[in-house]
Copies of this chain bind each other. A is one copy, B any other.
Amino acid sequence: MELTPRQKRILRAVVENYIETAEPVGSKVITETEGLDVSSATVRNEMAALETLGLLEQPHTSAGRIPSPQGYRLYVNELMEAHRLSMQETTRINEALKLKMQELDRVIDQAGRIVSQFTKYPAFALATGNKRVTIRRFDLLMVEDSAFIVVVLTDSNMVRNKLVRLPGTLNEPQLQLLNTLLNTTFVNLTLEEITPELMRVASHAAGEAYGLISLVVSFAMEVLEELESRSFHTAGITKLLEHPEYKSLDRAQPLINYLSNESDGTYLPSPSQEETKIIIGPENLANELKDTSVVVASYDIGDNMRGIIGVVGPTRMDYARVTARLSYFAEGLSRLFGKGVLPPVEDSKKEE
């Protein structure tokens, strides 16, 4: 059954008013704020109708109405006007996007922090590798006779390095030999394929040489593991406390615990979609999030990885505002990673 235009207008007024004030909305304020030429009694009748439709609810008999989850859903789907970012806002976000060149994990962590800053809600961020990563190339650089640097380059153009100290010494030719061995034997292998290869090499290599090889290879495996694993970050959890629904610690505590401990991202929708997704209250899978809303956006990291970034807040969340910022930011991240490389050389001292 379709709502009348007036009902839509009232529903929208209730939602937006409630989002702003966190107080149940009465019929009177609606007649005042909206330019409706009807009396409060009429609005009351309409609100009663909206309530029987399950779009509004009353905390108690003598209070105003608040939107039900279905009410929010309808609002989000049909009534919400896309929020336009101000120039100032977009430049601020663009500025924040000039992340320092860093390990992927840290970029993602920082992205979470930034989103939390811009939205005033707790944020989470993660990256998921869906394809297998392999090492494309090894490089060994001599430092002293007892130390060298390993540099590995993956097929997704991530670079990692490590300084290796040796108990004994090594000379340049030996290092070259090792280098060649690595680049012929351990290249283009996935994590699982490396182990048997290492076993095979072990069988016909001298003890000392093998120790060296396994040292470097296990570093490579560590890198592969890092890039394939889902790493999950949260930021700004304490921002929850600024919202009136969490003024009482009894409400806030379980959610905070959930976010800071259990959060492995299992409750999140898979990042298959391009658009920003809004999950309202009980639509969440996790029980702890049943009266919490989640807004998520996804972005591309190079060719074979994908990231998710989102915020968590009360169902009374400013969906329009959050969605706009989050989408814009996610797009920015895609662009950033789109170059196939980590972000450009840029300076920006942004810490928390």
Q: Residue A215 at the B interface, CB < 8 A?
A: yes
A161 CB to nearest chain B CB (Å): 5
Question: Which single residue of chain B is at the shortest CB-CB distance from A238?
Answer: B256
Contact stretch, chosen from A29-37, A54-62, A96-104: A96-104
Question: Which single residue of chain B is at the shortest CB-CB distance from A219?
Answer: B345
Task: Pick from B219, B263, B345: contact of A222, CB below 8 A.
Answer: B345
Q: Residue A232 at the B interface, CB < 8 A?
A: yes
Interface residue SS majority, chain A: mixed
A157 to B229, CA, bound (A): 28
Q: Which residues of B contact A257 (CB under 8 A)?
A: 238
Q: Residue A26 at the B interface, CB < 8 A?
A: no
Evaluate contact between A341 and B163: CB separation under 8 angstroms. yes
Copies of this chain, how many? Answer: 2
Task: Pick from B147, B159, B263: contact of A149, CB below 8 A.
Answer: B159
Question: Which single residue of chain B is at the shortest CB-CB distance from A242?
Answer: B253
Q: Residue A340 at the B interface, CB < 8 A?
A: yes
Evaluate contact between B159 and A342: CB separation under 8 angstroms. no
Chain A positions near chain B (C-beta within 8 angstroms): 100-103, 105-106, 137, 139, 141, 143, 147, 149, 151, 153, 157-163, 165, 215, 218-219, 222, 225-226, 229, 231-232, 234, 236-238, 241, 247, 249, 252-253, 256-257, 260-261, 263, 339-342, 345, 347, 349, 351-352
